[in-house]
Amino acid sequence: MWSFKAWRQRRILANNPIAAATWAKVRQQLPILDGLSASDEQRLRDRAVLFLHAKHLTALPGVTLGDADRLHLAVLAELPVLQLSDLDWYQGFHEIVLYPDDFRSPQQHRDASGVVHEWAGEHSGEAWLQGPVILAWPGVLHSGQWDGYNLVIHELAHKLDMLNGSANGLPPLHANMRQSDWAQAMQAAFEHLNAQLDRHPHAEPPIDAYAGENPAEFFAVCSEYFFSAPDLLSAAYPQVYAQLRLFYRQDPLARQQQLATAGRVKT
Ligand SMILES: [Zn+2]
């Protein structure tokens, strides 16, 4: 069947070619793409171009974006959804705002007695329900290594989570997944992490302690680790890794292990 969408996408790709030198620079900045098949890498490239066409990047004073910078961001944004094509997973927002550095933003928290506490917190990123994604540019540039940190994947995981309403750690699951399996794996790991932090508040847990804040942060932090330190996540919480593997339909651990065998990444 003739598809207008496919025709339009081909036109956008034809009109926005990536210079070979630009792609080479981006690839060099993003070791977490190492080990992707040639066809996956090509698809990621195409989808990054389509992402940049669909989203507006607003660079605040102090951020200057070249072609490679825009592509660096877009490739990281598209990596989590590379094998998900049955839905426009990044629907409902059009803008990414880039701050020159971490920013302060009003925070609210309602405690058990119903009192709302507000304070100004220092942030590297935010994802607004029905609104933009905000990223501190240095955090974007630091994302892309095999080190458990990925600001772009973290904030966009919040967007995936918000697809079925509020951010609660439960994105729309696929037909071959069970919500009870998901809830069981996430809940057990979340409680394990918090019990560990309760016992030793200054302990270094296997994944970033920020994951213990609430289920939404747990999903976002685990998504970061899934793509950038899958060895740590799967060792600490194998059931969480298994659920994320079903959700993202990727297996970064296998890729990381192949690279380690080839001596291209330390694990
Ligand atoms: Zn978060």
H-type helices in the chain, by residue range? Answer: 4-15, 20-29, 38-54, 67-78, 137-141, 151-161, 179-199, 215-228, 230-236, 238-248, 252-261
What separation in Å is there between the alpha carbon of 218 and the centre of ligand 1? 8
What separation in Å is there between the alpha carbon of 177 and the centre of ligand 1? 24
Q: 147, 214 in Cβ contact below 8 A?
A: no
What separation in Å is there between the alpha carbon of 22 and the centre of ligand 1? 30
Residue 106, C-beta contacts closer than 8 angstroms, at least 6 positions apart: 118, 119, 120
What separation in Å is there between the alpha carbon of 227 and the centre of ligand 1? 16
- Look up residue 236 and give its two tokens: 């600490």
Residues 83-96: pLDDT tens digits? 998 678 999 899 99
- Look up residue 155 and give its two tokens: 């904030």
Q: According to the model, what pLDDT value does residue 123 have?
A: 81
What separation in Å is there between the alpha carbon of 28 and the centre of ligand 1? 27
SS3 content of the chain, % helix, strand, coil (to 5): 50, 10, 35
* Alpha carbon distance, N-terminus to C-terminus of the chain: 47
What separation in Å is there between the alpha carbon of 88 and the centre of ligand 1? 21
CA atoms within 13 A on the CB side of 258: 11
Structural domains in the chain, CATH included, are 4-261 (3.40.390.10)
What separation in Å is there between the alpha carbon of 46 and the centre of ligand 1? 27
What separation in Å is there between the alpha carbon of 18 and the centre of ligand 1? 31
Residues 19-53: pLDDT tens digits? 999 999 999 999 999 999 999 999 999 999 999 99
What separation in Å is there between the alpha carbon of 147 and the centre of ligand 1? 17
What separation in Å is there between the alpha carbon of 220 and the centre of ligand 1? 6
Q: According to the model, what pLDDT value does residue 104 have?
A: 79
What separation in Å is there between the alpha carbon of 175 and the centre of ligand 1? 26
What separation in Å is there between the alpha carbon of 70 and the centre of ligand 1? 22
Q: 159, 77 in Cβ contact below 8 A?
A: no
What separation in Å is there between the alpha carbon of 121 and the centre of ligand 1? 13
pTM of model > 0.95: no
Q: 227, 153 in Cβ contact below 8 A?
A: yes
What separation in Å is there between the alpha carbon of 126 and the centre of ligand 1? 7
Q: According to the model, what pLDDT value does residue 146 have?
A: 96
Ranges of residues in the chain with a pLDDT under 70 are 1, 86, 106-121, 266-267
